[in-house]
Amino acid sequence: MRTKMAQRRNRRSGVEDRWRKADGSPSAADGKGKRWRARYVDDLGREHAKGFSRKVDAQGWLDEVTAAQVTGSYVDPKRGAITFTAFYSQWSKRQVWVKGTMAAMDLAAKSVTFGDTPLIDLRPSHIEGWVKAMQDKKLQPSTIKTRFNNVRSVLRAAERDRLLARDPARNVKLPRVVKGEKSIRIPSPAEVGQLVTSSVEHHEVMRAFVAVAAFAGLRLGEVCGLRVSDVDFLRGEIHVERQSQRGEIRAPKYGSVRTVYVPTGLITELAEHVRKFCPGDDPDRWLWENAKGPWTADVVEPRFARLRERIGLEVTLHDLRHFYASGLIAAGCDVVTVQRAMGHKDATTTLNTYSHLWPRAEDRTRKASEQMFRESTADALRTDQEVNSPDLV
């Protein structure tokens, strides 16, 4: 026996008079409820209807729905009724995130003030209210921007799934993030020297760790993820291929696998570290590890904090990365060279962080004119000496 399959209805729409039959005579519903009913069938064959007192209102509503279907911005009212929180709960389970990304996304999603609002009802005003609430809680502009971007990725996913007609976060203004000199701290060479040398007295195993952060510019997780085989002792190179984060070994941030060319002094430090703290002959053994595996931030940061407090410096490990970048710039390296050494996503990130360190137009002008001044005065002085000196016999 064959099972009869339900026939899918084609998309159509129309407005009908509930009170009158086709011949104009009263219907059974005459005088009951709203007279005009607008009906349409969507792309999936589902019928939707809504009642109106006036025909012009019914037709206007139907025209809006038809236009939305044509332009691709149509949202099924039933599907669009899902709340932001419910959609995020379903969508996030399908994402291939690492633990750190998952934690950041969960934090952002839980911070919204419109979690119980149906997606179809979301407006820019909801997003603006949430941003203002974060600002009122004294969150840093950079933190607000990060959470906003994370939540916006959820809204864009809902838009792709036709649960939102358009992204309500588009064109929403965020607090200004101040870039440049005030947003970073660059330790002096003397301070870096103190950290490297004092670690011998305090905890010698940290000496090479601090040196790699300061003279190769690696991120904390990247230093933790180094194996002995990642250091080319003959060529003076460190190959950054992974990072150790929250018990996970994964690719560096932004996939920034790279080779960093380092000074002989740092290679000497690493060779001594391997001799003292990395017994064995396995080339893939970790440079810094404990019983749980390679070090992570929860191991390094308390050790560095004790070292910093011991010598009385307000320096973070990330400040050492800024120290490295500033040194490259001072030596005349261009933006792309610094970007590649730092493992930044793009040159824009490098410029946004360090643009104030590169010589400005006025600095270059002053330097050029200073050189011209010295050359010109030197020539004039030589000419004056030749004129006023007695002839040599």
Residue 113: DSSP 8-state: S
Helix/strand/coil percent split, the chain, to 5: 55, 10, 35
Is 312's pLDDT higher than 50?
A: yes
As a whole number, mean pLDDT of residues 146-175 equals 90
Is 268's pLDDT higher than 60?
A: yes
Of the candidate ranges 217-226, 258-267, 373-382, the one whose mean pLDDT is the lowest? 373-382
What domains are defined for the chain? 32-74 (no CATH), 81-177 (1.10.150.130), 189-356 (1.10.443.10)
As a whole number, mean pLDDT of residues 135-150 equals 92
- If one compares 345 and 389, the residue with the highest pLDDT of the two is 345
Summary mean pLDDT of the chain:
84
As a whole number, mean pLDDT of residues 326-353 equals 91
pLDDT attached to residue 95: 92
pLDDT attached to residue 223: 96
Is 379's pLDDT higher than 70?
A: no
- In angstroms, the CA 341 to CA 280 distance is 31
- β 237-240/293-294 pair status: unpaired
Please give the model's pTM, rounded to 2 decimal places: 0.61
Is 4's pLDDT higher than 60?
A: no
Please, is 71 exposed, middle or buried when counting C-beta atoms within 10 Å of its C-beta (0-12, 13-18, 19+)? exposed
- Which residue has 């006036």 as its token pair? 54
pLDDT attached to residue 6: 46
pLDDT attached to residue 299: 93
Cβ neighbours of 291 (radius 10 Å): 4
Is 337's pLDDT higher than 80?
A: yes
Alpha carbon 207 to chain centroid distance? 31
DSSP 289-301: EETTEE--HHHHH
pLDDT interval class at 303 (50, 70, 90): very high
Nearest CA among 313, 349, 324, 330 for reference residue 213: 324
Is 10's pLDDT higher than 80?
A: no
pLDDT attached to residue 365: 73
Is 388's pLDDT higher than 70?
A: no
Is 5's pLDDT higher than 50?
A: no
Token pair of 17 as six digits: 């008079």
CA atoms in the 13 A half-sphere facing the CB of 58 = 21
pLDDT interval class at 182 (50, 70, 90): very low
DSSP 121-172: G--HHHHHHHHHHHHHTT--HHHHHHHHHHHHHHHHHHHHTTSSSS-TTTT-
Render pLDDT for 51-65 as a digit per residue (tens, 0 to 9). 888 888 877 767 666
As a whole number, mean pLDDT of residues 340-358 equals 88
What is the percent of the chain where pLDDT is above 70?
83
Please, is 154 exposed, middle or buried when counting C-beta atoms within 10 Å of its C-beta (0-12, 13-18, 19+)? buried
Please, is 108 exposed, middle or buried when counting C-beta atoms within 10 Å of its C-beta (0-12, 13-18, 19+)? buried
Render pLDDT for 12-26 as a digit per residue (tens, 0 to 9). 667 788 888 888 888
Of the candidate ranges 66-75, 202-211, 223-232, 294-303, the one whose mean pLDDT is the lowest? 66-75
